[in-house]
Amino acid sequence: MYIGGKSAVEIADEFGTPVYVTDEQRVRENYRRIYGAFSRFMDTRVHYACKANTNLAILSILREEGAGIDAVSIGEVMSCLKAGFTPDRIMYTGVNVSDAELKAVSELGVMINLDSACEMERLARIAPCSDVSFRITPGVGSGHSAKVTTGNKGAKFGIPLDQVIDTYARAKDLGFNIKGIHAHIGSGGQVVEPFMDMMEVLIELVNELKGLGIDLEFIDMGGGIGVPYRPQEEEMDVEELASNLTSMIEEETDVKTIMLEPGRYIVCDSTVLLTRVNDLKDTGVKRYVGVDAGFNTLVRPTMYDSYHHVALANRMGKACTSKYDVVGPICESGDYLAHDRVLPDPQVGDLVAVYDAGAYGFSMSSRYNSRPLCAEVLVNDGKAELIREAETMEDVWRHQIVPERLR
Ligand SMILES: *Cc1c(COP(=O)(O)O)cnc(C)c1O
């Protein structure tokens, strides 16, 4: 198995396991494909939703490509500034964030996409007259799991539909410089229709606002473009998505710019998680392949019942012998990476490749069970470079304080 022209076995031997390995060219290709699909039709700004993967090297690749950023926290904003993004390329969409965070983001010169009328009133006291846009709740939800469906009526995100017009009118009275409108229906949707339903809602609001003398510069369709995780699954047709949405905007509004915020789409298939087989067990009911990555390393299967394709990187193309569960070192039954997969006679020391681990992989990892966070490697042109060192126990203990009397 090769990743970006470099042998997976060599990478694992050199950098240790578990390790996330990213193919730089794939990140670039994904960005160019989605930007190209939309920019053919109208002025387009692709803001990478960086919560999917905030490694500074990955951010730097996307800065080079010309991407903007969708940030959901002050930490993400600061990481992107550190990676060289200028504040004007970043939009901040927080939810339930503090005055202190709003103030900090605003002082860094980053535009705030407001999530509630309450947040707007708070921002009016902190940074009057600043540029803003609003996240609305379109009443359309979509996603790979209920946990990541965000646009449905009653969701915690955005301005409820029946309050949108009043909120914009109030923003105008408060003296804000109103730039746009935003919705995000959820993450990992596989079909085009919900995006069109959402756009219908946004367009109606845009035109109603125009009637009130509020002209918007952009419509932001959010992120959520799904990717195929299973071998037979089809890709979403982004050409069709782009063509449909941009023609709706062009035909029905005066808005000149579309923004989108893909996270998963840009980084998901760029990265493989490599994990070593530590142990094997045949229970008579199930066969287990015990590896060194658990839900501390990749939480998506445990958290969302997500499917990740797996293969033995050192036995590619070998005939499969039986069905196995690939499970990790965390002391919970929910700790698994893959259920009931046919694999070619796994042996201790083999290398399991977990595909499509670039989005919400490392960025959701934890130190649970006191296992330090793992390394990340970037491959380009057949060369592998470390982009994050594996943590040590010193990192796990850092910031912990044992009071003097307990020492
Ligand atoms: C998470 C998020 C995204 C990206 O979702 P993907 O499914 O990774 O494309 C975009 N916009 C906002 C506001 C988000 O919270």
Ligand 1 atom closest to the CA of 135, numbered from 1: 13
Residues with beta carbon inside 6 Å of ligand 1?
Answer: 49, 51-52, 70, 72, 93, 184, 187-188, 222-225, 261-265, 359
Distance 133 CA to ligand 1 centre (A): 16
Q: Are 152 and 105 in contact (CB under 8 A)?
A: no
Distance 92 CA to ligand 1 centre (A): 12
Catalytic annotation, pick one of 129, 268, 331, 374 = 331
Ligand 1 atom closest to the CA of 52, numbered from 1: 8
| Residue to probe by mutation, ligand 1, list 48, 50, 51, most atoms within 8 Å of CB | 51
CA distances 316 to 166, 229, 352, 356, 378, Å, are 59, 19, 10, 17, 22
Q: Is the peptide bond before 138 cis (omega within 30 degrees of 0)?
A: no
pLDDT of residue 41: 98
Dihedral in degrees, nearest 10, Cα atoms 5, 9, 14, 18? 110
**Is residue 80 flagged as an active site residue?**
no
pLDDT of residue 189: 82
d(CA 171, CA 157): 18
Ligand 1 atom closest to the CA of 93, numbered from 1: 13
Closest C-alpha residue for ligand 1 atom 1: 49
CA distances 38 to 138, 152, 335, Å, are 22, 25, 40
pLDDT per residue, tens digit, the chain (407 aa), is 999 999 999 999 999 999 999 999 999 999 999 999 999 999 999 999 999 999 999 999 999 999 999 999 999 999 999 999 999 999 999 999 999 999 999 999 999 999 999 999 999 999 999 999 999 999 988 888 888 888 899 999 999 999 999 999 999 999 999 999 999 999 988 899 999 999 999 999 999 999 999 999 999 999 999 999 999 999 999 999 999 999 999 999 999 999 999 999 999 999 999 999 999 999 999 999 999 999 999 999 999 999 999 999 999 999 998 999 999 999 999 999 999 999 999 999 999 999 999 999 999 999 999 999 999 999 999 999 999 999 999 999 999 999 999 99
Instruction: Count Cα neighbours of 388 within 13 Å in the Cβ-side half-sphere.
Output: 22
pLDDT of residue 149: 87
pLDDT of residue 294: 98
DSSP tag of 232: T
Ligand 1 atom closest to the CA of 261, numbered from 1: 10
The radius of gyration computed from the CA coordinates of the chain, to the nearest angstrom, equals 23
Closest C-alpha residue for ligand 1 atom 15: 72
Instruction: Count Cα neighbours of 312 within 13 Å in the Cβ-side half-sphere.
Output: 23
Ligand 1 atom closest to the CA of 51, numbered from 1: 1
| Residue to probe by mutation, ligand 1, list 46, 229, 261, most atoms within 8 Å of CB | 261
Q: Are 50 and 363 in contact (CB under 8 A)?
A: no
Q: Which residues pair with 336 in a beta bridge?
A: 327
**Structure token pair of residue 158:** 């955005």
Distance 260 CA to ligand 1 centre (A): 9
β-bridge pairing 375-380 and 336-343: unpaired
Distance 286 CA to ligand 1 centre (A): 37
Residue-by-residue DSSP string for 71-139: ESSHHHHHHHHHTT--GGGEEE--SS--HHHHHHHHHTT-EEEE--HHHHHHHHHHSTT-EEEEEEE-S
DSSP tag of 45: E
pLDDT of residue 143: 86
β-bridge pairing 322-327 and 287-291: parallel
Distance 31 CA to ligand 1 centre (A): 15
Closest C-alpha residue for ligand 1 atom 3: 223
